[in-house]
Amino acid sequence: MKRPTLKAIAEQAGVSVATVSRALSGRGRVDEATRQRILRIAEAMGYAPDMAARSLVLRRTENIGFLIHALQSLSPHTFYGELLTAVERELRRHRYHLQFATVEDDSLPTLIKENRVDGLLLVGCDLPPSLIWTLKERRLPLVLVDNHMPGVDSVFTDNVGGAFQATAHLIRLGHRRIAFIAETLANLSFQERFEGYRRALEAHGLPFDPELVAEGERGVEGGFIAMGRLLERAQPTAVVAANDPTAASAMRAIRARGLRIPEEIGVVGFDDDPLALHTDPPLTTMRVFRARMAALAVARLLDLMRNPEQPAVHICIETQLIVRQSCGSSPIPS
């Protein structure tokens, strides 16, 4: 059977399409009796307004775009999947739909050019800033998620504070030679975590030693490589990893050197990836709140769509230390 239209309902009910439209939309007065009749018929026919016709006249699609960098999203080690479903759930509560797209460069996605979305969630810190500015100039409502920059609304994790806490935790346990590793530092989130690490050292009167910092490579082996490089030139008693996959991968490098965790080297990660439960020993890490991030980002975006001319707002979400067994639980002997 075909999708019913307003016209079909109108004929069935013996009224005009205008009346049917009013009855169903609730805008404009309709006699209560005919309204009920129309509603029953519409229900029976399984009517729902055609989205194309609606958005053509209403000038909105009730679609939100979820944009992510193609490389980032292809990486298996990302928590954006969970973020995505949380966003979709949140959008659905508000009668919006989610359009998912990846971007590879700074050219304007067809999603935008063809007017397929009313607003945008730009996810991750690797989307080209030039693209972000182009979008802003189009006056398209948008919110950065897990990323931030001046002049654009954003919702993100407190990376600096989180890494500070993680490092302070290790210091509290008695560690003095604490290393920092990342797949790469060419990434805003990782830079911020590095910054938090440095600030924690400073706040506790420990010297910063560049020899205790190592980068690896992008990919699942990043932490393994970084940790290998580090252990060739230094003997840290603990290491802060820029994220959990890096930490897990580093743990393999540590074990490969015959060192025990946490007795000889403590490890702390970041993200509370499900992975963290399965490492041996289970990984102490900083939990980030993806569902909160999703809800706040959606709320902000919808607000921005209602009322576009607002100063940019930046929403920073704190992290939480999850203590497992990779750092040891009591101060180490010096």
* Strand partners for 64: 98, 119
Q: Based on the shown chain and the rule CB under 8 A, indicate whether residue 5 belongs to the binding site for its own copies.
A: no
Site membership for its own copies, residue 53 (CB under 8 A): yes
CB-based contact 61:103 (threshold 8 Å): no
Among 25, 110, 130, 235, binds DNA (CB under 7 A): 25
* Cα 26 to Cα 82: distance, rounded to the nearest angstrom: 36
Q: In the chain, how long is the greatest CA-to-CA distance? A: 89
Q: x/- string (CB under 8 A) for its own copies, residues 253-292? A: --x-----------------xxx-xxxx-x----------
Among 51, 203, 313, 316, binds its own copies (CB under 8 A): 51
Query: Between residues 95 and 233, which has the closer beta carbon with respect to its own copies?
Result: 95
Residue 42 makes contact with DNA by CB under 7 A: no
- With CB under 7 A as the contact rule, the residue among 36, 40, 58, 100 that binds DNA is 58
Q: What is the DSSP letter of 260?
A: -
Report the C-alpha gap between 45 and 40 in whole angstroms. 9
The nearest distance, CB 47 to DNA, in angstroms, is 7
How many residues sit close enough to DNA to count as binding (CB under 7 A)? 28
Q: Contact at 8 Å (CB) between 4 and 19?
A: no
By the rule CB under 7 A, 19 interacts with DNA: yes
50 near DNA, rule: CB under 7 A: yes
Cα–Cα distances (Å) from 219 to 153, 179, 254, 288, in that order, read 30, 20, 18, 21
Tokens linked to 233 = 């030139």
CB of 59 to its own copies, least distance (A): 9
First and final CA of the chain: distance in angstroms? Answer: 78
- Residue 35 near DNA by CB under 7 A: yes
CA distance 122 to 113: 16
Of 114 and 232, the one with the shorter C-beta distance to DNA is 114
Q: Which stretches does DSSP call E strand in the chain?
A: 63-69, 97-103, 119-123, 142-145, 154-157, 178-182, 213-215, 238-241, 266-268, 285-287, 314-317, 320-322
Q: Which stretch binds DNA (CB under 7 A): 20-28, 179-187, 192-200, 323-331?
A: 20-28
SS3 at position 62? coil
Any contact of residue 72 with DNA (CB under 7 A)?
no
128 near DNA, judged by CB under 7 A:
no
207: DSSP letter: P
Residue 252, H or E segment: helix 244-256
Q: In the set 88, 90, 146, 192, which binds its own copies (CB under 8 A)?
A: 88
Exactly one of 159, 249, 319, 326 binds its own copies (CB under 8 A); that residue is 249
List contacts with its own copies (CB under 8 A). 1, 3, 46, 48-56, 61, 63, 66, 70, 73-74, 76-82, 84-86, 88-89, 92, 95, 97-102, 108, 110-111, 113-116, 138, 220-221, 245, 248-249, 251-252, 255, 273-275, 277-280, 282
Q: Which residues bind DNA (CB under 7 A)?
A: 5-7, 14-19, 21-22, 24-25, 27-31, 34-35, 47, 49-50, 53-54, 56-58
